[in-house]
Amino acid sequence: MNYKELLKAKCKRENYEKLMALDNPRLHDFVAKYVEHCNPASLFVRTDSLEDAQYVRNRAKELKEEKSLAIDGHTIHFDGYFDQARDKENTKYLLPPEVSLGPDVNAIDREKGLKEVHEYLKKIMEGKEMFVCFFSLGPTNSEFSIPAVQLTDSAYVAHSEGILYRSGYEEFKRMGASREFFKVVHSAGPLENGVSKNIDERKVYIDLKDHIVYSTNTQYAGNTVGFKKLSLRLAIHKASREGWLAEHMLIMGVHGKGARVTYFTGAFPSACGKTSTSMIEGETIIGDDIAYLKKKDGKVYAVNVECGIFGIIRDVNPKDDPLIWKALNSPGEVIFSNILVTEEGTPYWLGDGREIPERGVNYSGEWFKGKKDAKGNEITHAHKNARYTVSLYALKNCDPKLDDPQGVEIKGIIYGGRDSDTWVPVQESFDWKHGIITKGASLESETTAATLGEEGVRKFNLMSNLDFLSIPLGRYINNNLQFGNTLDNPPSIFSVNYFLKDKEGEYLNAVEDKIIWLKWMERRVHGEVEAIKTPTGYIPQYKDLKKLFKEVLDKNYSEEDYVKQFTLRIPENVAKNERIVEIYRTKVPDAPDILFKVLEEERKRLEVARAEHGDYIAPAVFDKES
């Protein structure tokens, strides 16, 4: 049976005509191949129309994948009890024998993996409806953007994508048959009580050659919404070939003098302040997760791949997150997942600041205080990785340039980790090369006892992108270095650290202080403030921070606090330098020579400063030398 006959047999006339209106035989072949292989009962083709979006929303409730809540437009979705996070163990690259991404990359022989995943997919959609959904990764009609199509039997997944991504049906119409596009094939598999039954057959495979993500027997969005971190891997591979960057970065506008808005990107590992930075009240957000960066006319421009947020809801409360809190408590399209819902349809989650109800329904089913799992462990009223999905357009601080097809010009790049004893709160690198190597490629983050077991373990995570690299580490670092080489005036590169502590273990920064570091960086890139040169980069002068604290927070900032925060801690910085060098020498065989040269130069500067001034050097010492 040729693809037209097959698709006609599975589609109602209207859906068949929608598909055939796209003049793209490769697309038709792809859809037909998996219609034949997965054998759904019917197809729904989603265009950019509001009617099609509403159809998907309705189906999510009809299929009991979502349930309406008390506030209009809000729904709740539950994943399976053991399907609550990204499955790193079973997420693998499909690689031919001659290709290696390094010893720590999870991969499987391509032919073996394709055979295996297709065995799982065989007739997996029997009796179900397949949703054929078209999206644009990035603003539509833009040189940045990548067309993408997902085939899924989950209305919840299709609904989530409709919030997170710009509709791309018309994009496929415009592009014709020649342009490359990303593809995702997903099935939740057989369901039991509304959740994936065969969780032991959960597989997430990434085929770099054909730009396809396969996902089976899972519902959790991080494994199924294939255009997030899974397609970030495809994009990194594509960007490496084409000379641009796909990064795990926020994009935000920091507001300066008059009506000036200066755009920054920023990479932060989990639990290091990424979302809270992008959502600072008074500033504007373009994105909180993934950015595409390209060079134009000697400058860097960036777009947000998404137009929504799939965010961790834990600890979102009205005091610390007023903008998100308002969106989550106002009418509009919001999907909550794996939290507690009361009989009245009110959602509750960990750290929301409210009294926990006595009972309700959560990811474990009917829930009551003191409920335990099969091993005797108490089940919390909401999962620690529970999520919310919301459109950026619903946020008061959404930047008006979110959908600008030209992107926004990037003036600064920020790297931040959870660091109790080494990095100062904010610092500027000497230049692009120094920043990429000593800030981005040296990024570490400490684990916390509350979420990851042992506290204080330092995890190396260059550019906060380590888990998603689809090219060798050395090539990735070289790509970043070369990206800045041809720029007339590369963006300034900064490091930030919101978690510095004193010897007693008390934080030296207040939660709200991060706005001051942003405001200083904004003024710095415009040459409006001077800085003090230290062995590891440029730090602020006290007078500028004192002025900013008063203007922005109406807070008196003491010189004593400044000295505690910005004292250079030589032993800790040398130890970090040695850790990073050891990682690259032992685990990254293709690490570029320039990396070791720059790190060695920094170590020597630290040792010279220690010989002259001791282990802990106050900012005033370097200010005099500057």
Q: What's the N-to-C CA distance of the chain in angstroms?
A: 77
Treating both helix axes as pointing N-terminal to C-terminal, what angle do 50-62 and 155-164 enclose, rounded to 10 degrees?
A: 140
pLDDT tens-digit series, residues 191-240: 988 899 999 999 999 999 999 999 999 999 999 999 999 999 999 999 99
Token reading at 471? 């090219």
Contact 227, 182 (CB under 8 A): yes
> 93, 106 in Cβ contact below 8 A?
yes
Average pLDDT score over residue span 567-575: 98
Query: Backbone phi, then psi, for 321, in 5-degree steps?
Result: -135, 60
Least Cα distance to 125 among 24, 215, 4 occurs for: 215
Element (H, E) at 34: helix 25-38
Nearest C-alpha neighbor of 232 from the set 240, 298, 330, 110: 240
pLDDT at 1: 53
pLDDT of residue 451: 40
Altogether, the residues listed in the chain come to a count of 626
pLDDT band at 179 (very low <50, low <70, confident <90, very high): confident
Rounded to 5 degrees, φ, ψ at 266 are -155, 135
% the chain with pLDDT above 90: 90
Instruction: Measure the CA–CA gap between 520 and 524, rounded to whole angstroms.
Output: 6
The neighbouring-strand residues paired with 196 are 191
pLDDT at 452: 38
Instruction: Report the alpha-carbon distance of residue 407 to residue 424 in Å, rounded.
Output: 31
3-state secondary structure of 379: coil
Model pLDDT for residues 512-567, shown as the tens digit of each residue: 999 999 999 999 999 999 999 999 999 999 999 999 999 999 999 999 999 999 99
Q: Do domains 3-243 and 246-309+401-625 have the same CATH topology?
A: no
> 626 is written with which tokens?
């500057």
Taking residues 107-128, report their average pLDDT: 97
Q: What is the mean pLDDT of residues 326-352?
A: 97
- Residue 101: pLDDT band with limits 50, 70, 90: confident
Residues 423/427/430/433 CA torsion (nearest 10 deg): 60
Instruction: Report the SS3 class of residue 410.
Output: strand
Sketch the domain layout of the chain as residue ranges: 3-243, 246-309+401-625
pLDDT at 453: 47
Q: Are 493 and 226 in contact (CB under 8 A)?
A: no
Side-chain-facing half-sphere of 483: CA atoms under 13 Å:
26
How far, in Å, CA of 479 to CA of 228, rounded? 22
Residue 255 has pLDDT above 60, yes or no: yes
Q: Which fold has domain 246-309+401-625?
A: Phosphoenolpyruvate Carboxykinase; domain 3 (3.90.228)
Fold of 3-243: Phosphoenolpyruvate Carboxykinase; domain 1 (3.40.449)
For residues 468-486, give the mean pLDDT.
95
Q: Which residue in the block uniquely carries the two structure tokens 């910005």?
A: 566
Asked if residue 338 has pLDDT above 80, the reply is yes
User: For 61-75, what is each residue's pLDDT tens digit?
Assistant: 999 999 999 999 999
Q: What would the mean pLDDT of 494-523 be, rounded to a whole number?
A: 95
CB 292 within 8 A of CB 482: no
Compute the average pLDDT of residues 122-132: 97
Q: What is the pLDDT of residues 277-333, one digit of tens each?
A: 999 989 999 999 999 999 999 999 999 999 999 999 999 999 888 999 999 999 999
Using alpha carbons, list the distances in angstroms from residue 114 to 92, 149, 150, 360, 470: 11, 19, 18, 42, 18
Taking the C-alpha atoms of residue 155 and residue 56, their distance in angstroms, rounded to an integer, is 6
User: Catalytic residues, which ones?
Assistant: 272
Distance CA 11, CA 217 (A): 24
Packed helices 3-10 and 13-20: angle between N→C axes, nearest 10 degrees: 140
Tens digit of each residue's pLDDT (9 = 90 or more) over 242-251: 999 999 999 9
450 pLDDT higher than 60: no
Give CA–CA dist 235/242, Å, rounded.
10
Asked whether residue 626 carries a pLDDT value surpassing 80, the answer given is no
* Residue 476 scores a pLDDT above 50: yes
In this prediction, residue 105 has a pLDDT band, given cuts at 50, 70 and 90, of confident
For tokens 């610092």, the residue is: 427
Mean pLDDT score of the chain = 94
